Amino acid sequence: MKLKVVVLGAGFGGLELSTILSETIGDTLDLTLIDQNDSFYFGFSKLDVMFGRTSPDAVRIPYRTIAKPGVRFRQETIMAIDPNARRVTTTNGTYDADVLVVALGADYDQAATPGLVEGGNEFYSFAGAARLRDVLPAFTNGHAIIGVTNKSFKCPPAPSEAALLLHDYLVARGVRDACRISVVMPFGIPIPPSPATSQAILAAFAERGITYVRDRLVSALDPVRRVAVLDDGSEMPYDLFLGIPKHCVPEVVAASGMTENGWIPVDKTTLKTRFPNVYAIGDVTSVGTPKAGVFSEGAARTVAAHIIAGVRGTEAPPAFRGIGSCYIEFGEERVGRVDVEFLAGPPTGTFTDPSAALAGEKKIFGSSRRARWFGIK
Ligand SMILES: Cc1cc2nc3c(=O)[nH]c(=O)nc-3n(C[C@H](O)[C@H](O)[C@H](O)COP(=O)(O)OP(=O)(O)OC[C@H]3O[C@@H](n4cnc5c(N)ncnc54)[C@H](O)[C@@H]3O)c2cc1C
């Protein structure tokens, strides 16, 4: 009898999990990987798309190229999850699992920030980033705000990266002197676990005349007066607003009864949910790591090790530690790196200065995953 594993979501977490299980127990595996989309894209490619550094089509990696022993990909929308029965209903049918893994990521609730849809833009969804390709060329003078609307958001360096890349974009078009850039963030420093990374980002902001507004969220936009209203009631006029919308679990997860305080709680060491043989990994959980692909991947490795240990009857694997390296775009084709650890004690981070060499390393981060997950060289 083959082990029936159903993996919901083919993002960082779902792809890594399916790959490891196929590589190690592929001959006894019957894994179904389900995603509503026909293709994957890296979160960071949204920055490249919005600034016109590449086209939306160039960064999409089609799921149809997945060919792994024991793994079958299904492009279907998940309509219901019953974690007690480990049964999943999609637009095409029903799947029963011995082991169910929820890796459905985080969605956005743009309507939670009044005025954002009418008066602003967002670059966190692929569609939002693609739309900005037509919006940014029209911005030639005035105040651009990159504003966070809620404390829990994907890839905490991304708003700072967007500001630095916007600076380069405006310089290249010869309009930087006519523009101001501000970043509104809910933290005292850009990357709280790593003061060195934060210092480097704040120094880069200072060099480029970018204003960092600390410890504030954007609560609303007034599209008529073109002002952003912050959570202390103060107002900032804007000509271009690039928002980081409020994050939430996908609707199907909210309806499944698996969430508490908005996210799926898991055992931090094993990623097990309170439902037997049901795991949850990545952005959809409240595990305590930032919402970033590298942590979804790390969680997938831990879950894979548990599933393999179950099949082989070997000892339980080591605890998930929430370790990961994030690449940070500093502009001028240079990338820095922060290596962080979240769950073994107080969060810590080590910074490596931006360089062209790290820009190359980030490219390899992407191409190695394309090769491993999709077989694309
Ligand atoms: C601008 C930006 C820059 C970023 N840069 C980085 C970076 O440099 N490094 C990094 O590590 N992370 C980065 N991230 C974050 C990273 O993209 C996410 O944290 C990561 O994708 C989360 O992985 P996941 O597997 O948990 O979920 P996801 O990758 O979001 O995958 C979830 C999948 O579930 C599918 N799904 C959802 N609902 C349904 C449904 N009902 N039916 C079927 N399928 C469904 C979705 O289509 C999706 O493919 C960035 C994010 C942004 C927005």
44, 139: one domain? no
pLDDT value at residue 344: 86
**Domain contains 23:** yes
Our answer on whether the CB atom of 115 is closer than 6 Å to any ligand 1 atom is no
Of all atoms in ligand 1, which is nearest to the CA of residue 281?
26
Cβ of 158 below 6 Å from ligand 1: yes
- Looking at the structure, tell me whether residues 7 and 125 fall in a common domain: no
Q: Is residue 349 part of a domain?
A: no
Measured from the CB, is residue 245 less than 6 Å from ligand 1? Answer: no
In this prediction, residue 274 carries a pLDDT of 98
Indicate whether residue 60 lines ligand 1 (CB < 6 A).
no
Q: Ligand 1, residue 78: give the atom nearest the CA.
A: 42
**Residue 336 falls inside a structural domain:** no
Domain boundary among 223, 247, 271: 247
22 occurs within a structural domain: yes
Q: How far apart are CA 327 and CA 355, in angstroms?
A: 11
The domain total for the chain is 2
Structural domain contains residue 8: yes
Low-confidence ranges of the chain (pLDDT < 70): none
Nearest CA to ligand 1 atom 11: 293
Q: 12 CB under 6 A from ligand 1?
A: yes
Last-in-domain residue among 247, 264, 284: 247
pLDDT score at 377:
80
Residue 113 burial (10 A CB sphere; 0-12, 13-18, 19+):
buried
Give the nearest ligand 1 atom to 13 CA: 25
Residues 67 and 172 in one domain: no
| Among candidate residues 202, 222, 247, the one where a domain is terminated | 247
Secondary structure of residue 248 in the 3-state scheme: strand
Name the 3-class secondary structure at 55: coil
pLDDT of residue 310: 96
d(CA 5, CA 99): 5
From CA 15, how far away is CA 66, in angstroms rounded? 10
Domain containing 58: what range? 3-106+249-312
Q: Kindly report the number of other CB atoms within 10 A of residue 31's CB atom.
A: 26
Spatial CB neighbours of 324, under 8 Å, sequence gap ≥ 6: 289, 292, 294, 295, 297, 298, 339, 340
In a domain, 323, yes or no: no
Neighbours of 224 (CB within 10 A): 9
Q: Looking at ligand 1, which residue's alpha carbon is closest to its atom 19?
A: 292
Residues 88 and 22 in one domain: yes
- Same domain? For 94 and 131 the reply is no
116 and 211 belong to one structural domain: yes
Among 17, 20, 35, which residue has the most ligand 1 atoms within 8 Å of its CB, making it the best to mutate? Answer: 35
Beta carbons of 156 and 252 less than 8 angstroms apart: no
pLDDT in tens, 205-235: 999 999 999 999 999 999 999 999 999 999 9
Let me know if residue 72 belongs to a domain: yes
